Structure 1
Amino acid sequence: MKHNITPREIVNALDKYIIGQADAKRSVAIGLQNRIRRLRLDDAMQKEVKPKNILMIGPTGVGKTEIARRLANIADAPFVKVEATKYTEVGYVGRDVESMVRDLVEDARRIVKRQKHEEVHEEAEAKAIERVAKALRPGIKKKKDNQNSGGMGDWAAMLRQMNPQALQQGEEEEEEVTEEIAASRRQIRQQIRDGKLDNHEVTIQMEEKKLQMNSINPAMEQLMDMQDSLNALTPAKKVERTVTVKEAVELLTEEEADKLVNQDDINQQALKIAEERGIIFIDEIDKIATKNEQGGQVSREGVQRDILPIVEGSQIQTKYGMISTDYILFIGSGAFHVAKPSDLIPELQGRFPIRVHLDDLDEEDFVRILVEPENALIKQYQALLATDGVDVHFTEEAIQAMARFAVELNDTTDNIGARRLHTIIETVLDELLFEAPDMQMGEIEITEKYVSDRLEPIVGDGDLSHFIL
């Protein structure tokens, strides 16, 4: 976690991507800063200070998920987003609530693995370049004389049947490298480093990647652990891939880095940072409120009671060991149109002491969303069309018109917040996106009239706007 960042800096970083919602940004910034403060305390006091979980309340499309996701990026913290409606009470078919914690550990492991790989990158890359050079300029393989091996020929044949990969690997290790081959490889290695062979194709051998699956329940996770243990007893299967030299170096660097780092250290460190820095974002938590008018009240209350011990703090078994959820930060989120926060069971309400209300977005907010953030929609589409040689410019009046239509549609149909802008701008640029690859258009100006001509016929037809916009 970044220990030198202040709440004001956190808010400023969030402002680069999210428009408005100052209160929500302030609350999550304080929550993150309190976690940093806790790590500065002595061990005895650290155990007493628990994170203050946050409940975000606001309509869809106003930035709840984006705030949580960007917060995790700023803190370089493990983050997982889950939907409360995907879980079911114990005894029903569905995802086990504890899987959210196991998913968090997997994300933490990804972060630690990336850091460890960066530490050994130079050595791993050197080994990868050597392997690519060998593939481009192989040596002269030595062949064993099985006739004089005292009956070893039969044994080798049996081994080939049982494990051809192991025998092949042993054979590949024995090769004759003449001075000419060695000099050629040195030259190839230098050319690879200089990038002169980046687009040259090469066939390499790699260890086959094991398919990673998310477990549905603890029983399934135990079966997966047993499968991993069995796989560890057999040599890794090799697969051949034909890729460019640049891709080959990247792939083999990753594989060599895996060999250089200690996987047990990664696992234990991942458990620790998931405990200390992890953030779990529980979306649609209002959908499991018990006083919702929809059916299935018992099941929804059961999900809440299953989530409760995790939010309170408990020990969860993962494939890498036990993890405590005492210090994980939980952020709940929901529109709460029908249900209210008070409709959650009292015990769960008490575990989300910080309540943040996010405001509805108005026309001015939509205008800012279109142009201000670093990843603003208009900037995205300008970059996309620039790949076809089209320089698109939007007038201020055109941007204002798109924002106005977005507000009108949110008022007259379902309010989906800023997500409405995606459908608006896609509809406005539909013809241009289709024709751009076949026409050398140069500069194109999108005016208010251009926007109105494409949106007014649809917005004016209520039935049509429901389906298109």
Structure 2
Amino acid sequence: TIDTTNVLFICGGAFAGLDKIIERRIGKNSLGFAEELQGTKIEKGDNVYAHVMPEDLTKFGLIPEFIGRLPIISAVHPLLEKDLINILTEPKNALVKQYNRFFQYDNVELVFTDGALSAIAQLAIERQTGARGLRSIIENALLDVMFELPGREDVTKCVVTRETIERHQAPTLVTEAGAVGALEDEEQTA
């Protein structure tokens, strides 16, 4: 057996649909009259999850025995574009750094423009995937290039731009001779 006396358990997740349960509870009229509950009106832009109560989690489907073992319920704020860009670039094992190391195996410098990083973050927000969705966005943008680069010894740099992400254009490839072009351009001449 494991002694859990001094162990803090943290449970997290997206809890899709919980926001509607909270909104219904807060939007209820008190005592059947048409007056609003004082101090609990949710303004536009508020984080509805900040108003979560144990009964909301029960209606969501969690059993009371489980909820009772969670003494503190806290909501986090949604990640903003700048937060997602930091996740992409700042940690020791950030996604941009991981892909850069991968490209270095083929002696290619991988560069993400500020516009590309912004577009990746905006797309993750639009898809409501948060940080979890960042890898799939980058993977989708670089898949063809990662497949072709091992056979392209002339390429020295791969530049991912906003257009690469938003318009699904191939990244810009820079060769030893200084030529600039996209992957599709190279394939057409081969």
**How many residues are aligned here?**
129
The TM-score, its normalising length taken from structure 1, stands at: 0.26
1:80-112: CA deviation from partner (whole Å, max 9, x where unpaired) = xxxxxxxxxxxxxxxxxxxxxxxxxxxxxxxxx
Establish whether residue 434 from structure 1 lines up as the match of residue 147 from structure 2. Answer: yes
Higher helix residue share: 1
Code of the aligned partner of 1:447: T
Aligned match for 2:131, one of 418, 435, 457: 418
Rg: which structure is higher?
1
User: In the aligned structure 2, how far is the partner of 1:387 from the partner of 1:370?
Assistant: 20
Aligned residue identity for 1:349: I
Letter of the 2:137 counterpart: I
Give the C-alpha shift of residue 346 in structure 1. Answer: 4.5
CA distance in 2, matches of 1:402, 1:325: 41
Matched, 1:398 2:77: no
Once the two structures are TM-superposed, the CA of residue 427 in structure 1 deviates from its matched residue by 0.9
Q: d(CA) in 1 for partners of 2:13 and 2:157?
A: 43
By how many angstroms is 1:345 displaced?
4.6
2 CA distance for matches of 1:331 and 1:451? 35
Residue 384 to residue 341, structure 1, CA distance change in 2 (3 Å): farther
Q: Give a deviation string over 1:118-141, Cα, whole Å, max 9, x none.
A: xxxxxxxxxxxxxxxxxxxxxxxx
Greater RCO structure (CA 8 Å; 6+ sep): 1
Q: Does structure 1 residue 444 correspond to structure 2 residue 123? A: no
2:180 alignment partner in structure 1: none
The answer to whether 1:453 aligns with 2:132 is: no
In 2, Cα distance between equivalents of 1:426 and 1:357 = 30
- 1:383 Cα deviation (Å)? 0.5
The answer to whether structure 1 residue 335 and structure 2 residue 48 are counterparts is no
Structure 1 pair 452–324 and aligned structure 2 pair: CA distance change class (3 A): closer
Cα pair distance change 1:326/1:430, threshold 3 Å: same
The one-letter code matched in structure 1 to 2:11 is G
Ranges in structure 1 where 5+ consecutive residues have no aligned partner: 1-315, 317-322, 456-469
Q: Tell me the distance in 2 between the aligned counterparts of 1:337 and 1:450.
A: 30
State yes or no: 1:368 paired with 2:82.
no
- How far apart are 1:356 and its partner, in Å? 2.0
Secondary structure of 1:434's partner? helix
Q: What RMSD over aligned residues (CA atoms) do the two structures have, in Å?
A: 2.3
Segments of 4+ moved more than 4 angstroms: 344-347
Q: Secondary structure at the match of 1:330?
A: coil
Instruction: Output the amino acid matched with 1:405.
Output: L
Describe how 1:270-419 pairs up with structure 2 within 5 A.
316=1, 323-338=2-17, 341-342=54-55, 343=58, 344-408=62-126, 410=127, 415-419=128-132
Q: CA deviation at 1:328?
A: 3.0
CA distance in 2, matches of 1:449, 1:425: 13
Identity of aligned residues (%): 40
